[in-house]
Amino acid sequence: MIVPLDIVLFVILIATAFLALHVKDLLAAVGLLSAYSLFAALLFAGLSALDVALVEAALGAGLTGVLFIAAILATTRRSAPRTDSRRRLVVIPLILGFVGLMLYASVDLPDRGDPDAPAHQGVATAYIEGSLEQTQTPNVVTAILADYRSQDTLGETLVIVTAALSAALVLVRRGDDEDEDEVAVGSTDARDGTGPTGGPVPTDDAGPTDDVEGER
Amino acid sequence: MTGAYPSEVVRVICAVASPFIALFGLYVIAHGHYGPGGGFAGGVFVAVGAILPRLTIDERLAYRLIPPAAGPLTAGIGLLAFLVVAVLPLFAGGAFLDYGALEIPGMEPARVRYLGILVVEVAVGLAVFGAMVLIFDTITGRSER
């Protein structure tokens, strides 16, 4: 069963994803991706998955965009021009076939909130019935995440910290680079015009013709 | 890399809003037992409260508020706290991560599990906060100081 609001959100989701792929300015693409995450969060909220919606809104619509923008400011703002259009001949039928497969598979899925659904047959019932007495926690999701299934959460935390440490190890500046960076902090604006302070970008916004100059 | 944003409106709004965003993150972590939220979302909110000043206000001030060393430090502390809570029940004869096996005098097992969940949420929040700040600082090239 699908309510019309979901259809509207899905259309907006597909539109923002499509636009984010096709826009040339990477900052605009990041903004569109953040909008995508915000509407995905609304969709999750519509499904009563408030915990997931909160994380999606905070991470997807907020922090991921900030990290992308920081990466863009450290590199370049323009996306590389696409050269091979022949690849579409393969990719588009593949995607359409995959979508068809998913639609075919979704026919057999149980209705939303169906009490006879396989997901509600196993241990989930025990969690819902017992979590308040066993853990004194009214929010079942928290009780499952941090108590019944806390090994999953431990694994996730390990993955996040490991990912951050790996990013630090890969991206950390070497010693000889640092002195140069120290001097250039104040004058980066004048050097490449991409404005790391987020200020107006007089040279870079002139149009798509100055691609080469924009590449630094 | 980062620095004072030219627009005064943006600077003032971000400087005023970021402590409240961080406070909301703490609320989301602490309120995880009773409503939506928990360590992951709350940690991200607190991290946003730390990162927003780095993007907008004067960078010396922003980095004095939350120094770059705070990222790896809190990430490590959070992960360590989680692991300690996970291993402690083993000494009390319980299973890995079975907080209910811990015997605290004057407290029923359900209350101990409640506290265990709280510690886990705070630990996850610390780890997520540290990881996000660390990633941001490495991307902007400010991780060494």
Q: Which of B71, B89, B96, B85 is nearest to B118 (CA)?
A: B85
pTM value is 0.79
Q: Which of B137, B124, B135, B127 is nearest to B53 (CA)?
A: B137
B-chain CB neighbours of A48 within 8 Å are none
- Mean pLDDT of the residues in chain A: 78
A-chain CB neighbours of B114 within 8 Å are 135-137
**Residue percentage of chain B with pLDDT more than 70:** 94
Instruction: Quickly count: other Cβ atoms within 10 Å of residue B86's Cβ.
Output: 20
Instruction: Quickly count: other Cβ atoms within 10 Å of residue B97's Cβ.
Output: 24
Predicted local distance difference test score (pLDDT) of residue A1: 55
Complex ipTM? 0.86
* pLDDT tens column, B10-35: 888 888 999 999 999 999 998 888 88
Q: Which of A167, B68, A43, A151 is nearest to A35 (CA)?
A: A43
User: Cα–Cα distance between B29 and A50 in angstroms, integer?
Assistant: 14
Say which residue, B6 or A144, is predicted with more confidence.
A144
Residue with token string 């070497």: A174
pLDDT at residue B72 above 80?
yes
DSSP A81: P
Residue with token string 């990290």: A67
Residue with token string 């390990």: A158
Predicted local distance difference test score (pLDDT) of residue B98: 85
Contact, A204 vs A190, CB < 8 A?
no
Helices in chain B by DSSP H: which ranges? Answer: 8-30, 39-56, 59-65, 70-91, 109-139
What contacts A1, CB < 8 A, 6 or more positions away? A111, A112
**Contact map slice: B 82-121 vs A, CB within 8 A:** 82-83, 86, 96-97, 99-100, 110-111, 113-114, 116-117, 120-121
Predicted local distance difference test score (pLDDT) of residue A22: 87
Most trustworthy range by pLDDT among A100-109, A184-193, B106-115:
A100-109
Which tokens in the block code for residue A165? 């440490």
Q: Which of B94, B122, B52 is nearest to A66 (CA)?
A: B52
Query: What is residue B106's three-state secondary structure?
Result: coil
H or E, element range at A64 = helix A64-74
CA-based nearest residue in chain A for residue B82: A154
User: Which range, of A24-38, B70-84, B96-110, B114-128, averages the lowest pLDDT?
Assistant: B96-110
**Residue percentage of chain A with pLDDT more than 90:** 29
Task: State the smallest CA–CA distance between residue A20 and chain B in angstroms.
Answer: 22
Q: Do A62 and B33 touch (CB under 8 A)?
A: no
A-chain CB neighbours of B99 within 8 Å are 147
Query: What is residue A25's three-state secondary structure?
Result: strand
Q: Do A70 and B136 touch (CB under 8 A)?
A: yes
* pLDDT tens column, A129-170: 888 888 888 888 888 888 888 899 999 999 999 999 998 888
Predicted local distance difference test score (pLDDT) of residue A175: 54
Predicted local distance difference test score (pLDDT) of residue A173: 65
A-chain CB neighbours of B6 within 8 Å are 197-200
pLDDT at residue A103 above 70?
yes
Q: Does B49 touch chain A (CB under 8 A)?
A: no
Q: Do A58 and B4 touch (CB under 8 A)?
A: no
* pLDDT tens column, B79-91: 999 999 999 888 8
Q: Which of B84, B81, B96 is nearest to B127 (CA)?
A: B81
Q: Name the pLDDT band for B3 (thresholds 50, 70, 90).
A: low
User: Which range, of A87-101, A174-188, A202-216, B36-50, averages the lowest pLDDT?
Assistant: A202-216
* pLDDT tens column, B55-69: 888 878 888 888 888
Contact, B139 vs A74, CB < 8 A?
yes
